[in-house]
């Protein structure tokens, strides 16, 4: 039996030295790529080839390679995380592509996510939004109630856990025509708003996080739903609606 042939591909990859320089697409050929390999493994092979040729490898983000960390932020053939649903780039396998295909690979496109180098973008804006209110302040004086003793309706707990599944990859921002971060912020607000531990600071939290989101330059939500479609964790648009309700309630109370 003859050995299984690998894919022969043409890669059009965005190369950019840093944030201040102008970038451009460069074309690379790669051969005998196993259909069982992941997309990032394919890029590893390409980089190994480039290094062997004395050329500069392509910079791209990655960490866990298990669909958990959200680092592998790539725009592939016009879709965040590539031509599949419910996955991150590291979970995308080369069997999704055809032999001889041309694959266009870009970084996230958003003013709030400036390019660091090649396919890497600066997503620290998400960190600053979280620092503005994405946490719970806990009194550790010794008189605190054990969290396991606080009753939470299962429906609320399930919704909170669904919201907390957000890994902050930024696919929602990258796929939104307005570069909106409302699905991300809505998920982070919801995971606390649905639980009694998060209600104490709920109004201050939503006001501060929405303010930080606006200051970072993210766009407004236009209800097209692209963010939910491309989210690798299936975060629901219901979280945006919940954030809006929380925000309006906080504004009314603030007067």
Q: What is the pLDDT of residue 53?
A: 97
**Percent of residues, the chain, with pLDDT higher than 90:** 89
| 89, 69 contact by CB (below 8 A) | no
* Predicted TM-score (pTM) of this structure: 0.93
Inter-axis angle of helices 124-133 and 182-193, to 10 degrees?
30
Q: What is the pLDDT of residues 27-52, one digit of tens each?
A: 999 999 999 999 999 999 999 999 99
Query: Which of 17-26, 111-120, 145-154, 228-237 shows the lowest mean pLDDT across its residues?
Result: 145-154
Q: What is the pLDDT of residues 74-86, one digit of tens each?
A: 999 999 999 999 9
CA-nearest of 215, 112, 222, 231 to 177 is 222
Q: What is the pLDDT of residue 149?
A: 81
Question: Quick check: 151 pLDDT over 60?
Answer: yes
Q: What is the pLDDT of residues 113-146, one digit of tens each?
A: 999 999 999 999 999 999 999 998 877 676 767 7
CA-nearest of 104, 82, 101 to 92 is 82
């Amino acid at each position: 039996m003859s050995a299984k042939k690998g894919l022969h591909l043409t890669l059009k990859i965005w190369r950019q030295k840093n944030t201040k320089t102008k970038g451009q697409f460069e074309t690379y050929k790669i051969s005998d790529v196993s259909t069982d390999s992941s997309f990032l493994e394919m890029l590893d092979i390409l980089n190994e080839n480039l290094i062997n040729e004395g050329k500069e490898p392509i910079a791209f983000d990655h960490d866990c390679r298990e669909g958990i960390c959200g680092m592998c932020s790539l725009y592939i053939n016009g879709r965040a995380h590539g031509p599949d649903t419910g996955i991150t780039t590291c979970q995308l396998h080369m069997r999704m592509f055809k032999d001889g295909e041309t694959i266009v690979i870009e970084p996230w496109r958003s003013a709030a996510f400036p390019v660091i180098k090649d396919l890497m973008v600066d997503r620290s804006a998400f960190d600053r939004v979280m620092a503005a209110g994405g946490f719970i302040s806990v009194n550790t004086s010794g008189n605190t109630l054990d969290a396991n003793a606080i009753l939470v309706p299962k429906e609320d707990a399930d919704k909170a856990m669904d919201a907390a599944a957000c890994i902050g990859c930024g696919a929602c921002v990258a796929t939104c025509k307005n570069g909106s971060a409302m699905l991300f912020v809505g998920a982070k607000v919801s995971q606390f708003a649905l639980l009694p531990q998060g209600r104490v600071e709920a109004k201050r939290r939503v006001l501060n996080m929405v303010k930080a989101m606006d200051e970072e330059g993210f766009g407004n939500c236009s209800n097209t739903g692209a963010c939910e479609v491309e989210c690798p964790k299936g975060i629901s648009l219901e979280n945006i609606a919940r954030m809006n309700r929380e925000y309006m309630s906080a504004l009314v109370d603030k007067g």
